[in-house]
Amino acid sequence: MAKASSSFVCQNCGAAFNRWQGKCEACGEWNTLVEEAGDSAVPVSIRAKRRGRTFKLESLAGKSNDAPRLPSGMAELDRVTGGGFVRGSVLLVGGDPGIGKSTLLTQATSLMAKAGHRTVYISGEEAIAQVRLRAERLGLAAAPVELAAETSVEDIIATLSEGATPKLIVIDSIQTMWTDTVESAPGTVTQVRASAQALIRFAKKSGAAIILVGHVTKDGQIAGPRVVEHMVDAVLSFEGEGSQQFRILRSVKNRFGPTDEIGVFEMTGLGLREVSNPSELFLSERDLGSPGTAVFAGIEGTRPVLVELQALVAPSTLGTPRRAVVGWDSARLSMVLAVLEAHCGVKLSGYDVYFNVAGGLRINEPAADLAAAAALVSSLANSPLPTDAVYFGEISLSGAVRPVAQTPARLKEAAKLGFGRAVLPEQTRGDAPSDAGLSLQSVGGLTSLVADIAARGTPRPAARERDSAEKNATPARFRQREG
């Protein structure tokens, strides 16, 4: 009899190997290989040879009869999914433990159930009593959501196949699900992949929309089953700093809608509250008039979002100065620092640099460069920026300020929130800015902006007591003012 095949599967990327090894050759992670029985999700008996069946090919221009989308009734959630859940689609919601995934989905299912749709919430992690407790706390206990605490995929599919097809099914979480078709333990890549596959098949066949909840590992990936990300139709990630009440739902992949659209929520004692004007929220606790802060007029998806960027530049006692970034790309910060140093004479090599995006937002746009540079120079020169100014523009390696998209939308949002001026690139891409009631200050190169900010600065008192080595690290233009 043939030996039962087993393979070593990387729990990070899903690559399979014949023998154990310390490092996964596919993704480079260490100690991620786990022995799993069976190398295929489908048992051999089912894979028995059979002749293919013929099927009819369809034209691209066909009609699909019923309304494919089902809005959840939470505007911020619908914005991220692209207008609601698509029939027969599978959506993966990832996020750190405790960020509020179960809360969000309890609220969404309750709203849909109240609107008369059949919704089912399957919890593999919590007992029914715990789910009920949460619903009670959210004031949603009366919603006709059908609940179950189950982990067997076969049982779940058998139960849901009976009666009217549910419109929405939540599986919380995919890591707790297991299927009989493979022998690995629940939570392993093989199990998660096979369970997801079975559920996806059920969604396509029945037309129900399924939401899978997935946990995130310490390095921000949806744990183990990156493979699941490829299988599902959309991946949403629920982010936020645990200590802050803001939560951001971001679409990472979406076959039926936009990516880079965000939904903003606030975690309150009564569950998640939707925030329809995020700029107001991100600017609500502004530290007016202190150096090192600049307001960035950004675009998240289709929506302009104003957010405060904070920088602290402090003399370093370390051989290699510290660079700490929260909410922005650290490579991007290094680039801006290098441009400031190379083209504007701002020597930052003797300074620690701390950079933070207020409110727990994560910015991916290159348009944030100019605002970041303004905040950095403002901190170094101890020169508060005008409190009524917003900044945006991309910085190129030559020190030029490059145009960015959607200038009018950024200006309009700034004007709406009471800002009086905007510092922006000289040229604009696309539509020319109508003045929108703001006074516009265009900058062609970073040098002129730096000179402008430094000219208004007052050196920090501590700067006078610095030793000569540190003085050498101070830019010439700032040193003059000290002398």
Binding site feature residues for ATP = 95-102
Q: Which of ligand TYD, Mg ion, none sits in contact with 483, Cβ below 5 to 8 A by type?
A: none
Nearer to ligand TYD, 36 or 172 (CB): 172
Q: Candidates 6-14, 80-88, 132-140, 450-458 — which segment interacts with ligand TYD by CB under 6 A?
A: 132-140
- Could you say which residues in the range 304-323 bind Mg ion, by CB under 5 A? none
Q: Please tell me whether residue 101 binds ligand TYD under the rule CB under 6 A.
A: yes
Determine if 269 is a binding residue for ligand TYD (CB under 6 A). Answer: yes
Residue 134 lies near ligand TYD (rule: CB under 6 A): yes
Q: Residue 103 touches which of ligand TYD, Mg ion, none (CB < 5 to 8 A by kind)? A: ligand TYD
Distance CA 38, CA 21 (A): 18
Stretch that binds Mg ion, among 15-23, 98-106, 229-237, 277-285 (CB under 5 A): 98-106
Interface pick for ligand TYD out of 22, 52, 62, 98 (rule CB under 6 A): 98
Give 252 or 473: the residue with its C-beta nearer to ligand TYD: 252
Residue of 103, 151, 179, 279 that binds ligand TYD (CB under 6 A): 103
Amino acid at 343: H
Closest distance to ligand TYD from the beta carbon of 107 (Å): 9
Q: Measured from the CB of residue 103, what is the shortest distance to ligand TYD in angstroms? A: 3
Shorter beta-carbon distance to ligand TYD: residue 98 or 319: 98
Pick 134 or 460: Cβ nearer ligand TYD:
134
SS (H, E, C) the chain: CCCCCEEEEECCCCCEECCCCCECCCCCCECCEEEEECCCCCCCCCCCCCCCCCCCCCCCCCCCCCCCEECCCCHHHHHHHCCCEECCCEEEEEECCCCCHHHHHHHHHHHHHHCCCCEEEEECCCCHHHHHHHHHHCCCCCCCCEEECCCEHHHHHHHHHCCCCCCEEEEECHHHCECCCCCCCCCCHHHHHHHHHHHHHHHHHHCCEEEEEEEECCCCCECCCHHHHHHCCEEEEEECCCCCCEEEEEEEEECCCCCCCEEEEEEECCEEEECCCHHHHHCCCCCCCCCCEEEEEEEECCEEEEEEEEEEEEECCCCCCCEEEECCCHHHHHHHHHHHHHHHCCCCCCEEEEEEEHHHCCCCCHHHHHHHHHHHHHHHCCCCCCCCEEECCEECCCCEEECCCCHHHHHHHHHHCCCCEEEEECCCCCCCCCCCCCEEEEECEHHHHHHHHHHCCCCCHHHHCCCHHHHHCCCHHHHHHHC
Residue nearer to ligand TYD on the CB measure, 125 or 329: 125
Among 37, 41, 138, 252, binds ligand TYD (CB under 6 A): 138
We find the least distance from the C-beta atom of residue 25 to Mg ion, in angstroms, to be 34
Query: How many chain residues bind ligand TYD (CB under 6 A)?
Result: 15
By the rule CB under 6 A, 97 interacts with ligand TYD: yes
Nearest residue (CB) to Mg ion, 97 versus 430: 97
Check binding of 102 to Mg ion (CB under 5 A). Answer: yes
Select from 270, 342, 451, 462 the one that contacts ligand TYD (CB under 6 A).
Answer: 270
How far from the centroid of its chain's Cα atoms is residue 104's Cα? 16
For residue 348, the minimal CB distance to ligand TYD (Å) is 39
Q: Do residues 316 and 378 make contact, with C-beta atoms less than 8 angstroms apart? A: no
Q: Which residues are annotated as a binding site?
A: 95-102
Q: Which stretch binds ligand TYD (CB under 6 A): 6-14, 95-103, 348-356, 394-402?
A: 95-103
Q: What is each CA distance from 101 to 93, 143, 153, 446, 459, in whole angstroms? A: 7, 18, 21, 42, 47
Q: Give the full edge-to-edge strand order of the sheet including 246-254.
A: 146-148, 119-123, 168-172, 209-215, 90-95, 234-239, 246-254, 262-268, 271-274
Distance of closest approach, residue 359 Cβ to ligand TYD, in angstroms? 17
Give phi and psi for 152, each to the nearest 5: -90, 120
Q: How far is the CB of 70 from Mg ion (least distance, A)?
A: 23
- Which residue number, 130 or 472, has a Cβ lying nearer to Mg ion? 130
Question: Which of 9, 15, 80, 99 is the binder for ligand TYD (CB under 6 A)?
Answer: 99
- Residue 21 C-beta: closest distance to ligand TYD, Å: 33
**Total residues at the site for Mg ion (CB under 5 A)?**
1
Q: How far apart are CA 114 and CA 355, in angstroms?
A: 44
Of 43-51, 74-82, 97-105, 153-161, the segment contacting ligand TYD by CB under 6 A is 97-105
Least separation in angstroms between residue 105's CB and Mg ion is 8
Closest to 350 (Cα-Cα) out of 311, 316, 378: 316
Contact with ligand TYD (CB under 6 A) among 100, 225, 263, 425: 100
97 binds, among ligand TYD, Mg ion, none (CB under 5 to 8 A by kind): ligand TYD
C-beta nearest to Mg ion: residue: 102
Q: Kindly list the residues in this chain that would bind ligand TYD in the complex (CB under 6 A).
A: 95, 97-103, 134, 137-138, 267, 269-271
Q: Kindly list the residues in this chain that would bind Mg ion in the complex (CB under 5 A).
A: 102
